[in-house]
Amino acid sequence: MTTATDLQTAATPREVWELLKAGNERFATGNTADPHRDPETRQQLTAGQNPAVCVVGCSDSRVPVELLFDAGFGDIFVIRTAGGCVDSAVAASVEFAVEGLGVDLVLFLSHETCGAVGAAVGALESGEIPAGLTRLFVEKIAPSVAEARTRGEQIEQAHARNGAEHLAARIPSVVAGLEEKKIGVVGARYRLSDGRVETTYENFGD
């Protein structure tokens, strides 16, 4: 059976994404392989890391990235903020993953029933922008709310697509990697209801 351990030797960004989707299917059906979670792997990783994918996702405790893709230590470079919002520190972290670690794939992952998205929806419906720092992610998510309503789709779907498009267009190393067809960028939404990840955007530089 194919397992997430193959992430380390995947030949192309598309292959990395296919292996991640296969891992998610194992997770959703309760047939996990639980790779790279043993003491030997932890010891090997003291010498350095070689993740295959960088994931920008939400801080929500219900969305443990490595678990839902049936991956383990050293497989995924994860960056998490409320709503998966991208600021300069997140962008710099993605650039480090691409340039410094050589990841093959950059994934923006949203999810169902996201509290940050809910806050943005509430602010737009009430016309009251929250006080304090909460307004930062409300302002970043608001365009996805407006686009989802125009398209008649789930807000988290629009947010995943917008987030992935932002990464593909605004981070120089990602732009260059796509032009050279060395990396891929994907947007996806995780469904808490059934444990599955659905694709909303793909860019492999084709």
The C-alpha atoms of residue 21 and residue 168 are separated, in whole angstroms, by 20
Which residues have CB under 8 Å from 87's CB, separation 6+?
81, 136
Ligand-binding annotation for 114, yes or no, is: yes
Q: Which two tokens stand for residue 201?
A: 């955007």
Number of H helices, E strands in the chain: 8, 5
Phi and psi, residue 53, nearest 5°: -145, 145
Dihedral sign, Cα of residue 69, residue 202, residue 109, residue 100? positive
58 marked as part of a ligand binding site: yes
Please count the other Cβ atoms lying within 10 Å of the Cβ belonging to residue 128: 9
Binding-site residue ranges for Zn(2+): 58, 60, 111, 114
Binding-site residue ranges: 58, 60, 111, 114
